[in-house]
Amino acid sequence: MMAPNPALLVSTEFRPRNRLLAGLSDEALWSLRPHLKTVHLPRGRVLCEADEPLRRVYFPEAGAVSLVSVFEDGTTAEMATVGREGVVGIGALLGGQHAFGRHVVPVPGSALAVEASRFQSALRENRALRAACETYAQAFLVHLLQNVACNAIHRVDQRCARWLLMCDDQAEGETFELTQEYLAEMLGVRRSTVTVVAGTLQREGLIHYRRGAITVLDRRGLETTACECYQVVRDAYERSLLPASLAGPPSCEMVATG
């Protein structure tokens, strides 16, 4: 009896929701598939601290993971967010052994995880995987640099709307879990500031907030409130990463991030 075709097995048995992996050919995906394990990402889980050894690489399939900077007084500020379009642990792609910052889960979900050493071996052996990850890294760099400029220039309400849109992009339903405390940490502002901003967005009919859960009611209105950085980052992923996969539904109702 002939051995089963690996590509056929990938096609019929394994359909990753992570868009970076989904963009790979079946043959390229098969080389990484045996090492991927599904892990749950509960809200608040810290995947890695800054300068800790990179032990695992994560391909989010739902929810979001934020790369944050932690200052001496304990204050945190988001540097970038990774969702289903990317990979957590990009330092491993660059040959690094340590994390660039703290990786924390603000929006719960799940991911496909692989040991960092296995991932680096796959990169060396799998040209298609490396090319896809390098292309993603370029888009991620745009995301990272745009966030720096955004945090310095734009108002809190604009940045809040942008961040909520990014979370909505990762949501699997109409509502996603996100506390005001985590939103404040991601934006680098006081919780009281987020309370005021979220209240304003709710009164304007853009969102509905209740005890750690947010529903985007008016996507177009939220896009209008957000700064242009949201679209700049989204365009970078669409243009440089996986245009067909990231295009999603019409702009008024995008589906789930990095």
Say whether both 216 and 120 belong to one domain: no
215 located within any domain: yes
pLDDT digits (tens, 9 = 90+) for 71-113: 888 888 888 999 999 999 888 877 777 788 899 999 999 999 9
Say whether both 140 and 39 belong to one domain: yes
Say whether both 173 and 132 belong to one domain: no
- In the chain, the number of structural domains is 2
Say whether both 133 and 171 belong to one domain: no
Torsional class of 74: left (φ above 0), alpha (ψ -120 to 50), beta (otherwise) = left
- Give residue 51's pLDDT: 82
pLDDT digits (tens, 9 = 90+) for 190-249: 999 999 999 999 999 999 988 888 999 999 999 999 999 999 999 898 876 544 443 343
Q: What is the CATH number of the domain that holds 184?
A: 1.10.10.10
User: Side chain identity at 142, as an amino acid letter?
Assistant: V
Query: Rg of the chain over CA atoms, in angstroms?
Result: 18
Say whether both 61 and 44 belong to one domain: yes
- Give residue 212's pLDDT: 84
- Give residue 30's pLDDT: 80
123: tokens are 């990169």
5 located within any domain: no
Say whether both 136 and 162 belong to one domain: no
Residues 219 and 201: beta-carbon distance below 8 Å: no
218 located within any domain: yes
Domain that holds residue 117: 15-149
Whether the per-residue pLDDT at 38 is higher than 90: the answer is yes
